[in-house]
Structure 1
Amino acid sequence: MRHILPPLLVLCACTAATPVFAAEGAQAWPPKFTFADETEVALTGNFAWDHSDFSGDARLGSDNGMRRREFGATVKKAGVWDAMVYFDFESKAWLDVFVRFDSKHFFDRDLGKLRVGYMKVPVGLEGVTSSRAGTFMELAAPIQAIYQGRRTGVEWTLEQDQALFQLGGYGGQDLQGDNPGQTYAARAAWTPRKAAGDVLHVGIAASRENPQGWTDGRGVQFDPTARLRARPGAGLTDVRLIDSGNLAPVGHIRRTGLEGIWIQGPVSLQSELLRADISRDDGLADYRADGGYLSASWLLTGESRPYSAGNVANPKPANAYGAVELAARYSTLDLDDGPVGGGRQHDWTFGANWYLTPYVKLQANYVRLNATQNGVTTRPDAVEVRAQVHF
């Protein structure tokens, strides 16, 4: 119950801050209501069904089922504040739960936006991209291993014509009751070109996490720990071909990332380099992991990938038959360092996406992997498809 209370309090605070008026307008799809004071309340969701078929490794086989069942609500008053409560019923995990205020309304000048609640730590561009807007069905291996995920805290964001700045501080446990500790993060990006269909974004991000130990209900104490690993290109399997194992006891974790986006009409490139430096206690050697990826996208039907607030979104079809996209990504991840034989992996992903409407998306991926751990190499491949509805 204590992990459900924070999201409920956020929603109650938003409701209390908004006078109850009769809805002046209602939109059937996506479901949205507009009140007399211009406050908007909308339902939001993302539902994805996957099928994956592996070959080349006996540990991996075929599977199908729901990958995401995300549902929630947003409340906003344009130019003043907005809030969200969002939950994934498939993974049984809280997603974004926050309230955000726009300084321009309160100070008559743009000093940025302040967000309070449960949100993504901004180190890992592909990780902070919305799950409904992924060009590929799964995150690249280095993002899976190094990206920290969501934490509870405060974040300040300032977006200008040619620059973006973010600072965040996070503490306590996540809303699942795990990962106790504190994190401090910063992100900055240079955006000399930021027009529709013409974008250049170059950024850097860094964070420091100070994980804490914990005691279970039996009084057993556990050291602060970290573990880096990645699935083999499919979210339906729990198999990991490379895995650092438990790295306890951990003093702190430093994450750094370089990111880039280039969009020119229907063609785009995106790339990241990521690194995690883990300081360990009790005389254990420190640990380092690194990786990166490069992806390319081509919208055959002529649309461009939208860009705003330092990130990309799904293209909006310009034709009645929808938008069609071809994409490719190469990624690499190295979890070997000194006595820790976490393994190394590099893989290719080739994808085709069909955006039938702004709310319906079909995806197909072919993944070819090469993973080596403790001298054993495996080269599986996978064919995957997804049907997705989001609003």
Structure 2
Amino acid sequence: MKPYRSLLTLALLAALAAPAAHAEVALDVIGGSEISFEGLVQADFYNFDTDGIDYGADVSTDLDGKDYLQELRRAELVLKGKGPGNIEWVLGYDAKDDKWLDANVKYKFGNNANHFIQVGQFKQPGATMEELSSTKNNDFISKSSITNSLGTPRRVGVQYNYGDNNWALTASYFGRELTRNREHGSGYAVRGYWAPINEAGNILHFGASYIDKDTDSDGIRLRARPMADMVPTRFVDTGSSLTSAASLNNHTDRVSVIGAEALWVTGPFKLQGEYMTIDAQRYGGPADFTGSGYYVSGLWNLTGETWGYKAGVPTTPLPSEPTKGLWQLGLRYDAIDLTDGAVVGGEMDSITAGVNWYWRSNFKFMLNYAMVNQEKGVLEDNPNMLEARVQFYW
């Protein structure tokens, strides 16, 4: 049995042994810290109507001719602590991907949850609003192409946040990712947001972010999966064009990303969109590279629930009637362009339709259909796919 399966089995038994279903399992109070245990398990299934690429292969070098792919997507185990005083801490690990998640300590000034300093590994303010939202409440099975390709998620660093329920400014300085042989390169990020309307069932939000980071002389490789997170093959890919493998004299030195975001909630409807543009600054003669992407999505809670709002991101409510569950319909348009001048990374746009069912407090079922169009120079590849996810969380 693989190590992550053994660890996951023990975690599931602990969660199921709890007296009742909860969003978290309270463990103990140690040293004035109230410790709780959370977990998230996701299993995905993809069925491809492929064009020219074997997306059902387990790895890009093992083309098996299958038109489907199924795998455990996440197995996240998280310990959280509140106290003593205004201190909060979290230690998370993904047993499936063998990597550390949030692992940090936060100090809140006064009783203001939006005024704090944080040290450790955390999601950077230069990530998308979608990335900053809770993974268990993803609107679609695959996150947007800009979230997966252009944003900078978790890194080790220090962050200062100042604001209130309706606005905030965040600044961070970061280094490498905590897990070895993952993302690295130091940099800084800032994000600001403002919700001129913020009341129950009626939210209007605007935000912007900026990130600047070093590539540690390795350059950067930008690529996008065809709206299926576990697919190993990427048609849209800059390859070695922006890395040190291209040339020691013209690889990418620094990268900067500008992001813009907007959110509108009215009753059971939610509309959100984000845009990002990335600039790769290169040594020597070649011109700098610029790529961009965006998405626009809409969600409708068929059972009438509305969204909440916390720390500049929307929050998904529990079902009003647990036995009936919370039903959602969603539609998203997504686009990314990684071609600029001599760098032909390709372009991709997609439409995804989905239905989500949150049942009781711990289960979620998702079904998506995605239509993807990809171009790279004179080449094209246009797969369609049916995706399903089963999720258990506590």
TM-score class, shorter-chain normalisation, is: 0.7 to 0.9
Divergent runs of 4+, >6 A: none
1-side partners of 2:182 and 2:166: how far apart? 38
The corresponding residue for 2:95 is: 89
1:226 aligns with 2:220: yes
| Structure 1 residue 121, shift from structure 2 partner | 1.4
Partner of 2:285, secondary structure, is: coil
* Residue type at the aligned position of 2:306: S
2-side partners of 1:358 and 1:263: how far apart? 23
Percent of aligned pairs sharing the same letter:
29
1:261 aligns with 2:268: no
Q: Is the 8 A contact 1:122 1:185 kept in 2?
A: yes
| Structure 1 residue 335, shift from structure 2 partner | 0.4
Q: Is the 8 A contact 2:31 2:84 kept in 1?
A: no
Report matched runs for 1:1-391 at 5 Å.
29=22, 30-33=24-27, 35=29, 39-57=33-51, 58-60=53-55, 61-77=67-83, 80-104=86-110, 112-123=115-126, 124-213=128-217, 224-246=218-240, 247-248=242-243, 249-319=251-321, 320-391=323-394
1-side partners of 2:364 and 2:183: how far apart? 34
TM-score norm. by structure 2 comes to 0.85
Change beyond 3 A, Cα 1:71–1:161: closer
Q: CA RMSD in A?
A: 1.9
> Which piece of structure 1 moves more, 156-165 or 240-249?
156-165
Give structure 2 stretches of 5+ with no counterpart: 1-17, 56-66, 244-250
* 1:7-58 C-alpha deviation (Å, 9 max, x unpaired): xxxxxxxxxxxxxxxxxxx975431035398632111111001110010324
| Structure 1 residue 78, shift from structure 2 partner | 8.2
1-side partners of 2:326 and 2:272: how far apart? 20
| Structure 1 residue 283, shift from structure 2 partner | 2.3
> Which piece of structure 1 moves more, 372-381 or 56-65?
56-65
Q: Is the 8 A contact 1:27 1:33 kept in 2?
A: no
Change beyond 3 A, Cα 1:210–1:303: same
Q: Is the 8 A contact 2:319 2:360 kept in 1?
A: yes
Partner of 2:149, secondary structure, is: helix
Q: Is the 8 A contact 1:164 1:190 kept in 2?
A: yes
2-side partners of 1:59 and 1:269: how far apart? 34
The corresponding residue for 1:221 is: none
| Structure 1 residue 232, shift from structure 2 partner | 0.8
1-side partners of 2:209 and 2:34: how far apart? 33
* 1:239-287 C-alpha deviation (Å, 9 max, x unpaired): 1120111312221101010001111110010100101000011322210
| Structure 1 residue 141, shift from structure 2 partner | 1.2
Change beyond 3 A, Cα 1:353–1:277: same
* Residue type at the aligned position of 1:155: Q
1-side partners of 2:166 and 2:133: how far apart? 20
2-side partners of 1:191 and 1:381: how far apart? 37
Q: Is the 8 A contact 2:293 2:336 kept in 1?
A: yes
2-side partners of 1:358 and 1:230: how far apart? 33
2-side partners of 1:313 and 1:62: how far apart? 32
Q: Is the 8 A contact 1:79 1:102 kept in 2?
A: no
1-side partners of 2:344 and 2:356: how far apart? 36
Change beyond 3 A, Cα 1:78–1:333: farther
* Residue type at the aligned position of 2:27: F
* Residue type at the aligned position of 1:230: A
Give structure 1 stretches of 5+ with no counterpart: 1-25, 214-223
Q: Is the 8 A contact 1:133 1:312 kept in 2?
A: no
Partner of 1:104, secondary structure, is: coil
| Structure 1 residue 198, shift from structure 2 partner | 1.3
| Structure 1 residue 163, shift from structure 2 partner | 1.3
Partner of 2:146, secondary structure, is: helix
* Residue type at the aligned position of 1:382: M
Change beyond 3 A, Cα 1:79–1:55: farther
2-side partners of 1:388 and 1:135: how far apart? 13
Q: How many residue pairs get matched?
A: 353
1-side partners of 2:146 and 2:381: how far apart? 18
* Residue type at the aligned position of 1:386: R
Q: Is the 8 A contact 2:121 2:177 kept in 1?
A: no
Change beyond 3 A, Cα 1:311–1:161: closer
* 1:296-352 C-alpha deviation (Å, 9 max, x unpaired): 000000001222111123321001311100000001100000101100000001010
* 1:150-183 C-alpha deviation (Å, 9 max, x unpaired): 1110011123243111110112454324333211
1-side partners of 2:356 and 2:380: how far apart? 31
| Structure 1 residue 186, shift from structure 2 partner | 0.4
